[in-house]
Structure 1
Amino acid sequence: MTRTVHGLLLAAASTLAVSGGAHAQGVEISISCGAVGLELTLCQEGANAWAEETGNTVQVVSTPNSSTDRLALYQQILSAQGGDIDVYQIDVIWPGILGSHFVDLAPHIEQETIDQHFDAIIQNNTIDGELKAMPWFTDAGILYYRSDLLEEYGLEVPETWAELTNAAQTIMEGEREGGNDRFWGYVWQGRAYEGLTCNALEWIDSFGGGTIVADDGSITVNNPAAVAAVDLAASWVGTISPTGVLNYDEEGARGVFQSGNAAFMRNWPYAWALAQSDDSPVKGKVGVAVLPRGEAEGGKHTGTLGGWQLAVSNYSDNQEEAIDLVRYLTSYEEQKRRAIEGSYNPTIEALYEDEEVLEAVPFFGSLKDTFVNAVARPSRIAGDRYNEVSSAFWNAVHSTLSGSGDAAANLDALETELIRLSRGGRW
């Protein structure tokens, strides 16, 4: 790795050595891991177990929590073709962007093992016939709610966004009258980054407004249902959601909700284990449900497909050991441990019927269809230009949320920008 890129890595990430024990005589493998919730801890524990078992050592690199910042860092490191990181934790939308830098895992991992995982994710990770990453955990956006407050105010879990808006307003007003002037109705991820793309895609798809770019490559984002969905979200800012939500990422929203200062939250499943931890002010007071649907005909419950994969760098000097680490971390036993301890969704279907997993995370069973049928971002169709598509989308939505133009004007401008990026109006 060049000195410049190595400096970027050190500036952006803290590096922690995980030893395989006093008798370790093998090679050192480095793996990049996120640090949202319990991610880094669970990654370190899994890597440590593999190191103890194999006699190797592992260096765990904590990368930026923002997926946007992490992608930029990865692109700089990989473009230098350095071998400082052997195993990369990559977002579900990155195989098409980064795949040329990764080893084809299919010849190295038993087909029976690959077949245990959700086929849709395996297909997502397969680029030009090569399996560029193994699924590690999957995600979909879900709704967290204060079950105690719904009961206190005589409210049901909202089925539609209008019902959520009204319930959030009712609870917020009641809690503020009771003396908590810091209480809000609904918190979510409104910062201008990939997390806003996920939230806004959920709003639009739940209204029947499509998926930004359709599977056939046509640009579909500029339509009345999409306009209505984004305008509704804009109406939350400063009413049931704080203006600061425009700078919230996952942890920002979780901090408000878990402190007891919000009635509802949109987040990923990882937040469940933290909300139920012994030091959580809302322990035992939280429920989980599918996100609300739009009001009009065609409205549906939906959640954006998320999740993370493990890929091996083409530039690794120890590919065999790196592949073995990926095999271990994505295994049934390790995914089960992560599900129980951190509520990270397995990518192995059989784990959704495992009694110990369902005891630890009951909603994995009831919301299984949400995770299996989550709406995908248009990363496959946009390929290595997806980041430009997503950036244009989240900026258009963020402008609307912050009061700089309405959804109709901003989505119209977005359509023009996507036509320009596609060089002709179809991807």
Structure 2
Amino acid sequence: MPPRRRVSARRQWSAGTSALALTAVALAGCASPPPDLTDPANRAEGSGTIVWVSSPTLRNASDDARQVLVDAFEQAYPSIKVDLQPGPDNSDRLREKLSGEISAGSVTPDVYSGDVVWPADFAQDGLALPLNGYLPDSFWSQFAKPGTPLADNTLIQAMSYRGKIYAVPYFIDEGFLFYRKDLLAQAGLPAPATWEQLVADANALKQRHLPYLFAWQGDAYEGLMCTWTELLADAYGGQSTPDSSAAIVDQSTATRLASPQALKALDFLRALINDGLSPADVSGYEEPQADSAFDNGTAAFLRSWDSSYANAISATSVIHDPAQVGVMPLPTFAGQQGVGFSVIGGWNLFVNPHSRNLTADLTFLRWMAGPQAQRILATQFSEIPSNYAVRTDPSVTLNNPVLAAATRTRLISRPSSAPGYGRLSPTIYLTLHKALPAKPNAHAADPCTTLLSAATQIDSTVRSTLPCDAAGGG
């Protein structure tokens, strides 16, 4: 598992998006699907060449999952050729490129890879084709446990806007807890199932003069938003089904920020710093710094993405022994049921509404979501499959601790189900960051009033249940 590129959660988003003429949106949304496309017994495959724009999935271009997938697809469908065109390796630049080209009416790319938080914005701006009119319910059901209603399918809801599905999950990234199995064994400690137990384990390791710190992403960027989303969901014990109305998303997000549960989550992060259980400068950590603290032996615990496992067992890590590295779903707060929540990252496949190769596009999407492509992603590139059957197949997970842990996670979406996430996210993480001490017991903004400030910036009419609001502030 070589170190690889980083995903959506590591990007900061610009607030603006490109707009497309409403006429184009209407034409794309109202087009009638060819009758054979939704009938598995009589499905056309299409022919010709489709253009797929996708950013690199690996740093080493000679070991590229994209080309491996293209080669396998073309072997399965000889009448269709895929022109793989690399996109920028930065999400913002990729978004700018695609927005400019598609809003100008370009018929290519036919298919493009995009971030998990894009669907609502791209749907509103007419940059993506609604796909549920072309692909049957049986197609979308493969992304969750059999029998799961579509409304409860977390992955598909993250792809949806106003009842339409605008993207196909390609592969997933999730947050995990990495921990030093050898250190916990030396101290006779369990792997922490709760955040409170993690604190207890860290203190016990510290008393034995063993590495004990917990590293996480605390800088003022999207990674903090992901860490926060997980902890807030843990404090609440879940998340309500997202709504596609921007006003309702803002109201719900603001209400959750202006709550005792949010204060509990923020106080937990502050205590980790003030009590010396996280690196002193963790409020400046992004993924590389957090990974480095774990890989160099400073930290015994790490909240990070699935790719961090490859770094931990690489030759450059002081650990490098897989037997010493544990990976598990994130903990939750004591009193909550099950494991903690893992925020959804990863990449998805969108169709250009101007594409002239729709039949071939859909054939490509069906194959990419199917077992052959998903097995390639999992077994050759250690990506977490979006296809539920492949994701939970023991033959896939047996020798990969990350994929095994992924079968037990509980996924949570960021509040991106309505347009405007590029505005919403920075409002939250920039404000929250002010309440994180730059070092233990350094001055930082009051957590209660900080949360109230974030909430009122999002929705000035929010009804707060925070104690600082009841007391009149401060």
Cα distance, 1:172–1:325 mapped onto 2, change above 3 Å: farther
SS in 2 for 1:233: helix
Q: Secondary structure at the match of 1:106?
A: coil
Equivalence for 1:12: none
Equivalent positions of 1:346-385 (< 5 A) are 346-362=385-401, 364=403, 368-370=407-409, 373-380=410-417, 383-385=418-420
TM-align CA RMSD: 3.6
Instruction: Work out whether residues 435 and 444 of structure 2, in 8 Å CA contact, stay in contact via their aligned partners in 1.
Output: yes
TM-score, scaled relative to structure 1: 0.77
Matched letter for residue 287 of structure 2: E
Change (3 A) 1:38 1:124: farther
Structure 1 residue 142: deviation in Å? 1.7
* Secondary structure of the corresponding residue to residue 384 of structure 2: coil
Name the CA distance, whole Å, in 2 between partners of 1:408 and 1:49.
54
Percent identical pairs in the alignment equals 28
Give yes or no for contact 2:232–2:261 (8 Å, CA) kept in 1: yes
Alignment pair present for 1:231 and 2:256 = no
Aligned to 1:161: 195
Report if aligned partners of 1:188, 1:265 keep a CA contact under 8 Å in 2.
yes
Q: 1:82 to 1:141 in 2, by over 3 A?
A: same
Amino acid at match of 1:29: V
Secondary structure in 2 matching 1:192: coil
CA contact (8 A) 1:103 1:311 kept: yes
Q: Which moved more, 1:388-397 or 1:40-49?
A: 40-49
The structure whose residues are more often helix, as a share, is 1
Find the residue that maps to 1:138 and give its secondary structure.
strand
Structure 2 counterparts to residues 166-315 of structure 1, below 5 A? 166-171=200-205, 185-208=213-236, 217-218=251-252, 219-237=255-273, 239-273=276-310, 275-276=312-313, 281-295=320-334, 301-315=340-354
What is the aligned partner in structure 2 of residue 389 from structure 1? 424
Task: Look up the match of 2:84.
Answer: 59
Match of 1:47?
70
Q: 1:43 to 1:165 in 2, by over 3 A?
A: farther
Aligned CA distance change for structure 1 residues 393 and 270 (closer, same or farther; 3 Å):
same
Unaligned runs of 5+ in 1: 1-24, 177-182
Give the whole-Å Cα distance in 2 for the aligned partners of 1:174 and 1:335: 44
Distance 1:321 1:333 in 2: 18
Q: Is the 8 A contact 1:209 1:225 kept in 2?
A: no
Q: Secondary structure at the match of 1:50?
A: helix
After the TM superposition, which of the residue ranges 35-44 and 321-330 deviates more from structure 2? 35-44
Shift of 1:390: 1.6
Alignment of 1:35-184 (within 5 A): 35=57, 41-51=64-74, 54=78, 56-64=81-89, 71=95, 74-76=98-100, 78-83=102-107, 85-99=109-123, 100-109=126-135, 111-118=137-144, 119=150, 120=153, 121-171=155-205
Contact 2:52 2:84 in 1 (8 A): yes
Cα deviation digits, residues 197-217 of structure 1 (max 9, x gap): 110111222222875997664
Change (3 A) 1:82 1:394: farther
Question: CA-to-partner distance for each residue in 1:289-347, whole Å, 9 max, x for gaps?
Answer: 22222246789722223333111122445444444333332221111221223332222
Q: Secondary structure at the match of 1:360?
A: coil
Q: 1:10-59 deviations in whole A, cap 9, x for unaligned?
A: xxxxxxxxxxxxxxx95362322354778983233213433455462433
Secondary structure at the counterpart of residue 242 of structure 1 = coil
Quick one: distance in 2 between partners of 1:377 and 1:44? 30
- The one-letter code sitting in structure 1 at the alignment partner of 2:261 is A
Q: Residues of 1 paired with 2:114 and 2:446: CA distance?
A: 34
Deviations 1:218-275 (A, max 9, x none): 3221112211211221233473333553343334433442344421111233433554
Which residue, out of 397, 400, 406, partners 2:446? 406
Residues paired across the two proteins, number: 388
